[in-house]
Amino acid sequence: MGKNVVVLVRQEGLGQVPSEDRAFGIEAFDIFCHTLETEPEKPTALCFYTDGVKLLAEGSLLLPALALLQGMGIRLVACGTCVDHFGLTDRLALGDRGTMKEILGLMLGADSVITI
């Protein structure tokens, strides 16, 4: 049995890039997702908070990649407070709307937590 890994996604793209390079950050996250598909070990969950919740909303360019990961059994959890803050309540296209308590529980129960 593999390790219980939780990945925290706190922004729309991978890494910190200037606003003019936002598209590159999103493209890098897409590459990350497709690379993760090929790995034998998968995280238990990807937890999205702050700007990261935008990746799970209608119109996100990463919905196909994230849907594939969800279909492979990786749980996608969006912070409900963050979803509300960004006005995405009716636009969440993937994942579960979770509470910070739930996200914290996943983190505390994990063997390791990776923040991207």
Domains and CATH numbers, the chain: 5-115 (3.40.1260.10)
Report angle CA 26, 30, 28 to the nearest 5 degrees. 55
Burial class (CB in 10 A: 0-12, 13-18, 19+), 102: middle
What is the pTM (predicted TM-score) of this model?
A: 0.93
Say yes or no to pLDDT of 1 above 70: no
CA-CA distance, 86 to 92, in Å (whole number)? 11
pLDDT per residue over 59-88, tens digit each?
Answer: 999 999 999 999 999 999 999 999 999 999
Look over the chain and give the mean of its residue pLDDT values, rounded to a whole number. 95
- Provide, rounded to the nearest whole percent, the portion of the chain with pLDDT above 90: 89
